[in-house]
Amino acid sequence: MPDTTTRERMISTAMTLFRREGYPATSWRRLVEEAGTPWGSAYHHFPGGKEQLGVAAIELGTELVAKTVRRAFERTETVEDAVRWWYRKAGQALAADGYRGGCPLATVSLEMANVSPTLTEACRTAFATWHRLLAGLIAGRGYDAERAEDLAFAAVELLEGALLLCRVRRSTAPLDRAATHFARLAREES
Amino acid sequence: MPDTTTRERMISTAMTLFRREGYPATSWRRLVEEAGTPWGSAYHHFPGGKEQLGVAAIELGTELVAKTVRRAFERTETVEDAVRWWYRKAGQALAADGYRGGCPLATVSLEMANVSPTLTEACRTAFATWHRLLAGLIAGRGYDAERAEDLAFAAVELLEGALLLCRVRRSTAPLDRAATHFARLAREES
DNA sequence: GAGATACCAGGACGGTCGTCCTAGTGATCA
DNA sequence: TGATCACTAGGACGACCGTCCTGGTATCTC
């Protein structure tokens, strides 16, 4: 079962709060209250302070999304179906959470880009990980390397834009449209 | 000349700080320091407090982007050229600001979606304004209404996703790719 | 001139923030 | 049994937050 240790519960709760309201709005006090973890041991598990917790939460979010992507390509045959499956999964998660969630990185990325080089570097690494993973999986479906790179970019760009609009409109429609747009990009020859 | 009054300077500075670091990170004290406006008259001009300032900043950002979009369609002939011009303009502004800026709405949208219904509503209205404007301009270039709607969505989704990646990677490359992706979507028949 | 109105100065207020600390608990191992 | 270690309890600390206030100045209206 997941999140058995105090440290793990803190990280996964931090990821949830970061994606819902962002980094500055997530205080240690709210975190330990939400996670039900001991307030006194925060700096025991994260001597680097809130920033270290932030990096850990970003890494967890990166891995969770990567897992979804891998699963999407396992259960589908074409690239457009894989992305559609991925986006649908993201939409379901978003709706099930009452449109409070979204990308685990987007909010922190935007907030901390000019403030914390450490967190920004973690976000940069995360996006690079996704991009590399996607490009590899797309290339594995028969696309040449350059085109796979390009489609991997499109998949991330469209997802991030769509998640933002879904959040604001409280609807998964933008994600559905984004999946269709991606399918068109993937199908077109030349 | 712009921003002649205290109120206008406060709003435009707020927009800048919101897009750079977000809503919670932008305090009144930082704002008046940055804007060089009197601290004592903040609640004179904005009796509704920080939230009222936030709404005003969102509305200003909405109008600035709308102006750029209108200009883009004035100086180009095809839809894909208009979007490319728009994205290039956005990339130039981003780079000129040292990759600190970005979409004036994105960060606030993500941060406040679960916190402030007022600000969320302002963001929703803003995105709807852009979408309506774009759909109208695209339809004016000969696309049928439904397709124009769809392309307007794609233009906003791709821009938001690209701006996020540009910010993190400190590069305008994602915007260039996004423009190319949009061009492919706009060109393809059917 | 007098009164009203718009705006500015600058700090008080209570609250929350991240950080850090001392004291204590419970388990492990000699 | 006693020493060591990982972990927890809970608050102190100074800084900053949004808000609101009193007192003042400039400008306009009659």
Domain residue ranges of chain A, discontinuous segments joined by +: 2-189
Percent of chain A at pLDDT above 70? 97
**pLDDT of A4:** 77
B136 touches chain A (CB under 8 A): no
- Contact present, A175 and A88 (Cβ < 8 Å): yes
**pLDDT of A183:** 97
Alpha-carbon distance of A59 to A61, in angstroms, equals: 5
Alpha-carbon distance of B75 to B123, in angstroms, equals: 28
In degrees and rounded to multiples of 5, residue A104 shows phi and psi of -70, -10
Q: What CATH number has the domain spanning B2-189?
A: 1.10.357.10
pLDDT confidence tier of residue A12, bands split at 50, 70 and 90: very high
Nearest residue to C17 via alpha carbon and C1': A27
- Asked whether the beta carbons of residue A160 and residue B161 sit closer than 8 angstroms, the reply is yes
Q: Which of B16, A33, A120 is nearest to B8 (CA)?
A: B16
User: Does at least one atom of strand C sit less than 7 Å from the CB of A119?
Assistant: no
Q: Which residue has the tokens 């834009």?
A: A161
- Asked whether the beta carbons of residue A157 and residue B156 sit closer than 8 angstroms, the reply is no
User: Where do the DSSP E strands lie in B27-145?
Assistant: none
Positions in chain C where some atom is under 7 Å from a protein CB = 7-11, 16-23
DSSP 8-state symbol, A47: T
Report whether pLDDT(B187) > 80: yes
pTM: 0.94
The whole-number average pLDDT for the span B44-49 is 95
**pLDDT of B1:** 39
**pLDDT of A2:** 54
User: Does at least one atom of strand C sit less than 7 Å from the CB of A28?
Assistant: yes
Helix (H) or strand (E) holding B108: helix B106-112
